Amino acid sequence: MSNSYHIAIIGAGPAGLSAAGRAAEYDAESGASAPSYVLLEGFSIFAKTIQKYQKGKHVMDEPGFLNLRSPVPFTAGKREKILGEWQDSIDTGINIRYDSEVVAIDGERGSFDITLGSGDHIAAEHIVLSIGTQGNPRSLGVAADNESDFVRYTLDDPAEFQGETIVVIGAGDAAIENAIALADYNTVYIVNRRNEFSRAKDGNLNAVLAAINDRKKAFYCHYESTVAGLELPTDSGAAGTITLNTASGEERIECHRIIARLGTVPPRRFVESCGIEIASDSADAVPDVDRHYQSNVPGLYIIGALGGYPLIKQAMNQGYDVVEFIHGKETKPADYPLLQDQFSGLPYVMDAEDVLSLYQTRVPMFRKMNPLAFRELIIESRIIVSVPAAELANQPAAAERTTVFVAADEPLYRHGEFGTTFYTLVEGEVKLQLDEDGEWHKIKPGQFFGEMSLISGRPRQGDAVVSEDAILIETPRRIMVKLMNSNEEVRQGIDRVFIMRALQAAFQPKLKLSELADIADRVTSRQYKAGESLFSEGETGDSLQLIRSGTVMLSRGDSRLVVAQRHSGEMVGQMALMGAALRRDTATAAVRTETLEIQRPEFLAMVNSQPEQVAVLQGELSGLLTKSNKMASQPESARAIGFLMEQGLGEATNALVIDESLCVGCDNCERACAETHDGISRLQREEGASLGQLHIPVACRHCELPHCMKDCPPDAIRRSASGEVFITDSCIGCGNCETNCPYDAIKLSYPAPPKPGLFSWLLFGHGPGPGEEAGFGPADENAIKKAVKCDACLDQAGGPACVRACPTGAAVRLGPEQFVELVEAR
């Protein structure tokens, strides 16, 4: 077999399969006798990530607006159906080489040298890297440790094994969960390198300790042990042996199977070893590629999740396109019609690709982006054109992903609205306030605004008004965050403007922009984890901190009484610069918090330029001191505030709190929730923490910077202008939000069956009655679990049903600004 190819595709996931499929088509056309490409897969199976999905899982084909362009089929359906179709594609002639892990890539375009784990070498003119981001499982590191029937690095179905002796290696959540599931029908040994399970989640930690201590369970743990060697079973069904290095010497265990769950090796190091640059240290940073998916190494292409495209369809389209590009075809990408739609309402006639490059050159920040990232930004953004209010009605109705028309000289958004989008002005002018009824600032083409909501998650501060014939790009938060994480220059640019505007809003300095920029450069950004302190009581300080995101609590005395909470946009520690340098309180981050630390000289420069503002700041400070001293004199209230902060309510914008001195336990809140939300309650009244008579049920708090929105592949989680965070129908049920929510407020659920009407229940006893639980499973085999959470009754005219349905007034919804009122009223 020849080991030299035109194209080597590394990684047989959806992207790699699609690329190989297209390459195979080229071979068929040219009538090549031997394949001109090879698809290299490190494992013995293709599409490893999808193979690992649970049986029968429904795989979605988001985004719906994009068409598939690939010889390999893919439509939404069951995991088995999709994998079966891909297997068929492979069988009809894809040149795939399994168990060929690539360990090194050397050389350059035209003559790459690929080294495999086995020591073999493959020569290729072009390389397509489609290895995804999951990484490969860490191996045991002893002889004969490659995946086999005896040694496994994944566990699909614990019920597959019964009556065996199984050794599970690892101490993380995956290892514990596997070991406990296997222990129902097998003898299980779990091997932990350390002397405790410190990496595991609380629930798993308790479960594994309970299992180890349970004398009736055949569940044993070897602490401080490593794997020294393996002896494979002589024939199938027989037992093999594993040798452990334990604290008390070597130990041999006869076993039928070894499940190694040692985590994965992230692909980053390998990617960088190929010479590919990743600009940012951020964990989600993606390598830069050009419009043809080519990385900084000529001839080395990156597609799919590794390039920042986690959805299957996008990845498959890229696989097709990249082979086209390598063959020198200037194919218009599959998303070209989408671009045309985006630009359809522009006041000039121009090819969409040209408009794209024009806009990229017009905005300084975008010039620093690679064209592919910019293209994605435009496709995911809304293009906004302003027209005179009178003409608005004559414009074509906005469809999904076409140009959006707005009325000129009217607010684009108003003060107090929640917004998660970021605006870039391409043409025209925008008038912007930085605070309610504040001074108007002019935004010129090439500049941007909306960075504050992006970074701090706060509602918009002040209005924004567009002039006539303005063109704006409105980009969703998710895309901007991804961009900032992978492009350091963009991040710094946005950050600098954020700091300048935050300083303007807080101190209203009368300084030239260049002077303000100087000050902004001298301000230090600080980050604190929940529980970390910014400064402590009794220290002397010479700076104040302006909170850019998160919440800080101020506490006093040995008992740490919480006397005040400060939120994004507010300051802490200003006493040091406006009164006595001795810190009277300890400032602690209640949740993950970012601040801007401003030292005395910068502070003075700003306030001296605007002496009237000094009185305002002093007035605010006195008000705050009065409040915190009052709080300090009410230890009960202070403790209650401390409790609310401890429960993470500092980052809430709209939280459900139950007053237990009024709650009669009727559960009408849960019923009202279920009845107004497709039969599934999004709150659990009884669960959650209590202190005194305050109870925080498990329900969404609509966080300032929602954790759930962080990592949603189809971008299904949105925030409305009035602040409600909700999940749209495009949810694919991946469960990322459920994992990311620290408050357990999201669960995956099958849709509930429709309920009978009141009378057919009352008279004929059909189905569950009003407010009764339906007790349901999947309606049919195509039903899939989707994420459900509280939407704060966004579409209910009267507001949250839970509150409206409470007969005794025990249930209230509130934001942090009402906490003091809540605890003092008691």
Partner 1 sequence: MRTSLLAWENSKYLRWALMLGVASILLYVSQMGGAQPPNGGTWQGYVLGTVGALLIVWLSVLGVRKRRYASNLGTVQGWTSAHVYLGAMLLLVASLHCAAQFGWNVHTLAYALMCIVIVSGFYGLYAYMHLPSRVAENNGGRARPAWLAELAELDAAIHDLAEGSDAELQGIAISALDMTRLGGSTRQQLSARDYSLVQLPGGGRPVANPEQTVVIDHLSRRIPNAQKTSEAELLNELLALFGRRQLILHVLRRDIRLQGLLKVWLLLHIPVTIALLVALLIHIISVFIYW
Q: Which is nearer to partner 1, 466 or 814 (CB)?
A: 814
> Cα–Cα distance between 261 and 155 in angstroms, integer?
9
Using the rule CB under 8 A, which residue among 237, 249, 665, 765 binds partner 1?
Answer: 665
Q: Which is nearer to partner 1, 703 or 822 (CB)?
A: 822
Compute how many other C-beta atoms are within 10 angstroms of the C-beta atom of residue 746: 23
> Cα–Cα distance between 278 and 288 in angstroms, integer?
7
154-193 footprint of partner 1 as x/- string (CB under 8 A):
----------------------------------------
Q: Which residues contact 169 (CB under 8 A, 6 or more apart)?
A: 140, 175, 190, 191, 227, 258, 259, 260, 261, 262
> Cα–Cα distance between 607 and 510 in angstroms, integer?
9
Residue carrying the six token digits 């080519």: 294
Which amino acid, residue 583?
Answer: R
Q: Does 451 bind partner 1 (CB under 8 A)?
A: no
Which amino acid, residue 86?
Answer: W
Strand 257-260 and strand 151-152: the pairing is parallel
Q: Which segment (68-76, 185-193, 505-513, 655-663) binds partner 1 by CB under 8 A?
A: 655-663
Q: Which segment (504-512, 551-559, 613-621, 683-691) binds partner 1 by CB under 8 A?
A: 683-691
User: Strand runs (DSSP E) across 198-350, as ranges?
Assistant: 219-222, 226-231, 240-246, 249-255, 257-260, 264-265, 300-302
Minimum distance, C-beta of residue 561 to partner 1, in the bound complex (Å): 19
The three-state secondary structure class of 298 is coil
Using the rule CB under 8 A, which residue among 634, 693, 720, 749 binds partner 1?
Answer: 693
Q: Which segment (70-78, 146-154, 409-417, 658-666) binds partner 1 by CB under 8 A?
A: 658-666
Q: Which is nearer to partner 1, 390 or 825 (CB)?
A: 825
Using the rule CB under 8 A, which residue among 88, 113, 254, 660 binds partner 1?
Answer: 660
Using the rule CB under 8 A, which residue among 671, 682, 707, 789 binds partner 1?
Answer: 671
Using the rule CB under 8 A, which residue among 576, 663, 712, 790 binds partner 1?
Answer: 663
Minimum distance, C-beta of residue 686 to partner 1, in the bound complex (Å): 4
Q: Which residues contact 818 (CB under 8 A, 6 or more apart)?
A: none
Angle between helices 600-608 and 611-632 (to 10 degrees): 120
Task: List the one residue out of 767, 774, 724, 771 whose CA is nearest residue 749.
Answer: 774
Minimum distance, C-beta of residue 707 to partner 1, in the bound complex (Å): 25
Q: Does 271 bind partner 1 (CB under 8 A)?
A: no
Using the rule CB under 8 A, which residue among 342, 453, 676, 736 binds partner 1?
Answer: 676
Cis peptide upstream of residue 63 (ω within 30 degrees of 0): yes
Using the rule CB under 8 A, which residue among 45, 50, 232, 662 binds partner 1?
Answer: 662
Subset of 197-256 contacting partner 1 (CB under 8 A): 214-216
Q: Does 687 bind partner 1 (CB under 8 A)?
A: yes
Using the rule CB under 8 A, which residue among 377, 686, 704, 756 binds partner 1?
Answer: 686
> Cα–Cα distance between 335 and 403 in angstroms, integer?
16
Q: Which segment (27-35, 41-49, 244-252, 671-679) binds partner 1 by CB under 8 A?
A: 671-679
Subset of 125-154 contacting partner 1 (CB under 8 A): none
CB 186 within 8 A of CB 218: yes
Q: Which residues contact 643 (CB under 8 A, 6 or more apart)?
A: 689, 691, 694
Binding-site size, partner 1 (CB under 8 A): 45
Q: Which is nearer to partner 1, 38 or 698 (CB)?
A: 698
Minimum distance, C-beta of residue 467 to partner 1, in the bound complex (Å): 40
> Cα–Cα distance between 115 and 100 in angstroms, integer?
9
> Cα–Cα distance between 649 and 591 in angstroms, integer?
9
Using the rule CB under 8 A, which residue among 56, 203, 538, 807 binds partner 1?
Answer: 807
Residue carrying the six token digits 């600009």: 279
Minimum distance, C-beta of residue 428 to partner 1, in the bound complex (Å): 42
Tokens of 51: 């193979």
Q: Which is nearer to partner 1, 124 or 814 (CB)?
A: 814
Using the rule CB under 8 A, which residue among 691, 721, 783, 794 binds partner 1?
Answer: 691
User: Strand runs (DSSP E) across 102-218, as ranges?
Assistant: 102-108, 111-116, 121-129, 136-137, 151-152, 165-169, 187-191
Q: Which segment (99-107, 406-414, 417-425, 817-825) binds partner 1 by CB under 8 A?
A: 817-825
Using the rule CB under 8 A, which residue among 16, 771, 783, 789 binds partner 1?
Answer: 771
Using the rule CB under 8 A, which residue among 229, 756, 767, 770 binds partner 1?
Answer: 770
Surface-to-core class of residue 44, CB atoms within 10 Å of its CB (0-12 exposed, 13-18 middle, 19+ buried): exposed
Using the rule CB under 8 A, which residue among 31, 119, 777, 798 binds partner 1?
Answer: 798
The three-state secondary structure class of 473 is strand
Percent composition of the chain: helix, strand, coil (DSSP 3-state, to 5): 30, 25, 45
Q: Which segment (63-71, 394-402, 668-676, 708-716) binds partner 1 by CB under 8 A?
A: 668-676
Q: Does 808 bind partner 1 (CB under 8 A)?
A: yes
CB 645 within 8 A of CB 793: no
Q: Does 826 bind partner 1 (CB under 8 A)?
A: yes
Q: Does 754 bind partner 1 (CB under 8 A)?
A: no
Tokens of 569: 């946009």
Surface-to-core class of residue 764, CB atoms within 10 Å of its CB (0-12 exposed, 13-18 middle, 19+ buried): exposed
Using the rule CB under 8 A, which residue among 585, 659, 724, 791 binds partner 1?
Answer: 659
Using the rule CB under 8 A, which residue among 209, 278, 783, 812 binds partner 1?
Answer: 812
Q: Please give the DSSP secondary-structure letter assigned to residue 592.
A: S
Q: Which segment (82-90, 606-614, 688-696, 699-707) binds partner 1 by CB under 8 A?
A: 688-696
Using the rule CB under 8 A, which residue among 540, 690, 728, 739 binds partner 1?
Answer: 690
Q: Does 756 bind partner 1 (CB under 8 A)?
A: no
Residues that bind partner 1 (CB under 8 A): 214-216, 659-665, 668, 671-672, 675-676, 686-687, 689-693, 695, 758, 770-771, 796-798, 801, 803-810, 812, 814, 818, 821-822, 825-826
